[in-house]
Amino acid sequence: MMMTSDWVLILDETEALCEMILSSEPAIALQQAYDAVYSDAQIVEAIYAFNRMKEQYEDVQRFGKYHPDYHTIMKSIRQQKRALDLNEKVSALKIAENDFQDLLDEISLLIGKTVSEAVKVPVSNPFFASGSSCGGGCGSGGSCSCSA
């Protein structure tokens, strides 16, 4: 592929967009929430313990209720998940992640619709999916109006 002035302009605009995204309020809030969680030794240890328990949980899932530690592991994984979910710093991180993902989804839709109205952009938030040309009916059980 040959580098033209159009490509250079696109790359310059891409870098500018990246800088804007990284300096946005959701990105800064995400970084602060991430730092708050991973600078707390107790939370980090709880996350590592939860990840170790997830490995045991996956092993239990292969055998189901016939696994000898089924009830113990199932109860423990739920307790650890709940403890993490109820932690203020962890919940703030999850909210910040969702806000940042919404920003990225909105930018993706704007770029996609700039290219063509027929572009299908995958998004994580159903609010943004309703703006797609498909109407959200293909895989959601609703009536689909797309011409696929």
Residue ranges and CATH numbers for the domains of the chain are 9-118 (1.20.1500.10)
- Whether residue 115 contacts residue 128, with contact meaning beta carbons closer than 8 Å, is answered with no
Q: How confident is residue 138, by pLDDT bands cut at 50, 70 and 90?
A: low
pLDDT of amino acid 58: 92
Q: How confident is residue 49, by pLDDT bands cut at 50, 70 and 90?
A: very high
**Rounded to an integer, what distance in angstroms lies between the CA atom of residue 71 and that of residue 69?**
6
CA 124 to chain centre: 7
Across 13-22, 31-40, 59-68, 120-129, least confident range: 120-129
* High-pLDDT (> 70) share of the chain, %: 84
